[in-house]
Structure 1
Amino acid sequence: MKNNSVIDNQSVCEKNKPANEYKSIQSAAPVVALWKTWGLRLIFAAMVIVLGSKQLNYILEGAFEWERWRGLGHSMLFALALFAIGGVFRPLTFLPIMLYEIVWKLVWLIVVALPPFLAGQDVPNIVNATASIIGIAVLMVLIPWRYVWWAYFTQPIEPWRRKKTDGNK
């Protein structure tokens, strides 16, 4: 007697045909230039090595002495470096990390660095403003924007709930 609650993958694919559906979606992905994926890998590797080692040193040297906001910042940057390890191996899968990198640096440049700069004062030395601008410019060139548009805006969204089938009543 066959257990109705356990169905092999092949019969599920034949019934609902999600495998063919996803295969057609994958085949429609825009081609990303190899130099862009290698450029992203290099940026991810730099994040792991430079950002990761710097933040790890900060954490090991004196995390107990920090005020809460400084600890939050270093913890988040260290977590970002840890996630960047995945980007070395799968740069397109980990693109949201690079998008996050662009957004937080732009916000920091506009909200924190720009007002003192316009007032003729020194820019806070928390993040190097020149390096941030150069980094954003490089990322803007390396990120495959057609792929980003395809992956995050043209794909069907995940369902909010599963459809009831005859076997799930």
Structure 2
Amino acid sequence: MPEVSTVRLYLLRLVYLIISCGLAVVVWPGVLHHAQPWTLSTGVVRCMLTAFSLLCILGLRYPLQMLPVLMWELMWKVIWMLAIALPAWRSGQIDEATISTLYECAGVIIIPLAMPWRYVYARYLQQPGDRWKPLRA
């Protein structure tokens, strides 16, 4: 397994801190003190973001073990930008809500800059996976 530098670990911790603090300011107050009932999708999104921010807090202590949450964040935002925002922009039918979400998603650029890609490759692509069958006695 490639060694991850201390600087890279601190960069990862900074990413986790930015995400968790940002969501704590933006999402948590609404989850803790919402006066009106939410729609199904709003409730799901807010609760998922709250859980994600809590997992990012764990990333402050375990930056390498929590890499899958950063990979999830990177993947869903890139997929959304390519599948939703880009086609809307190319067709000239992008609306204000999509533009707003696009700006919110643009912060994802910090993740690939901090990601220890050699470690990710060695850990998640080269390393053998866990066994599928029980061990024989």
TM range (shorter): 0.7 to 0.9
Identity of aligned residues (%): 29
Q: Match of 1:163, SS?
A: coil
Residues paired across the two proteins, number: 136
Aligned partner of 2:121: which letter?
Answer: W
Q: TM-score, normalised by structure 2?
A: 0.86
1:77-106, Cα deviation, whole Å (9 max, x unpaired):
111001111101111110001100101111
Task: Kindly report the root-mean-square deviation, in angstroms, between the aligned alpha carbons of the 2 structures.
Answer: 2.0
Moved more, 137-146 or 105-114: 105-114
Match of 2:102 in 1: 129
Q: TM-score, normalised by structure 1?
A: 0.71
Greater RCO (CA < 8 Å, at least 6 residues apart): 2
**Structure possessing the higher radius of gyration over alpha carbons:** 1
Q: Match of 1:124, SS?
A: helix
Match of 2:40 in 1: 68
Q: Match of 1:153, SS?
A: helix
**Is 1:138 aligned to 2:102, yes or no?**
no
**Is 1:59 aligned to 2:31, yes or no?**
yes
Aligned partner of 2:95: which letter?
Answer: D
Aligned CA distance change for structure 1 residues 131 and 71 (closer, same or farther; 3 Å): closer
The 5 Å alignment of 1:27-106 reads: 29-62=1-34, 64-106=36-78
Query: What 5-or-longer segments of structure 2 have no aligned partner?
Result: none
